[in-house]
């Protein structure tokens, strides 16, 4: 299931909330190479060695990737050292892959389109198995009072039912998808936005494709 495919592979490395970062694929390659190199030799690689490992001929390109990792708190510079890069010693923990199937409307419902192929990696959570989760990127502002903003990544637990107050991925009408809070009322279902500027949606039938179990926000932009 997808709702407008998000381009590019994105990996989310989650430690504590203040260390939350979203890395591009190339930034993750740089981080992994530095980590493995330092683990084997006890010191960081040079910029030219990093460039050779990731296939970047320009040192300026490598410097840009490294600068992003420093800003995101994953690397730090050591003053006075010949090889001045060092891992920030974050305890990343075990991660599990989750399919990032696209984006979902937090506003007016949009047509749901079946697409796949993207993956993210998030910190392992003992409450869930990787196979029962998928990810969507929020689009719109109808859920801001629940702390869900446009651009946030939502981790969804696959299930076809919901309890009152759950935030759900709901399919209505002609295969249109929306993110709203779910309430059963007499003879109908209310899909409630978390923004007073929007009206609730009422339907006799709603297909639930999962509930939100985690919201991830990148506080540092590449």
Residue tagged active-site, from 2, 142, 163, 181: 142
Cα–Cα distance, 187 to 3 (Å, whole number): 29
In contact, 177 and 3? CB cutoff 8 Å: yes
169: closest CA among 212, 115, 111, 113? 212
Residue tagged active-site, from 84, 180, 186, 214: 180
Is 186 tagged catalytic?
Answer: no
In contact, 176 and 112? CB cutoff 8 Å: yes
Is 142 tagged catalytic?
Answer: yes
Question: Could you give the residue numbers annotated as active site?
Answer: 142, 180
């Amino acid at each position: 299931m997808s709702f407008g495919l998000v381009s590019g592979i994105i990996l989310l490395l989650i430690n504590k909330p203040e260390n939350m970062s979203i890395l591009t694929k190339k930034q993750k390659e740089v981080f992994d190479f530095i980590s493995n190199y330092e683990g084997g030799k006890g010191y960081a690689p040079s910029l030219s060695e990093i460039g050779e490992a990731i296939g970047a001929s320009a040192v300026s390109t490598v410097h840009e990737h490294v600068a992003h990792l420093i800003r995101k708190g994953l690397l730090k510079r050591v003053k006075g050292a010949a090889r001045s890069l060092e891992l920030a010693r974050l305890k990343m923990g075990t991660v599990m892959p989750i399919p990032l199937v696209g984006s979902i409307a937090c506003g007016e419902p949009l047509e749901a389109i079946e697409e796949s192929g993207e993956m993210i990696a998030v910190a392992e959570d003992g409450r869930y198995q990787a196979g029962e989760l998928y990810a969507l990127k929020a689009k719109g502002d109808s859920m801001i009072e629940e702390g869900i903003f446009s651009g946030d990544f939502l981790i969804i637990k696959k299930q076809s039912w919901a309890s009152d107050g759950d935030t759900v991925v709901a399919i209505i009408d002609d295969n249109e998808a929306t993110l709203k809070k779910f309430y059963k009322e007499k003879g109908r279902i209310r899909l409630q936005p978390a923004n007073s500027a929007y009206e609730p949606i009422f339907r006799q039938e709603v297909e639930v494709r999962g509930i939100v179990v985690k919201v991830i926000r990148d506080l540092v932009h590449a």
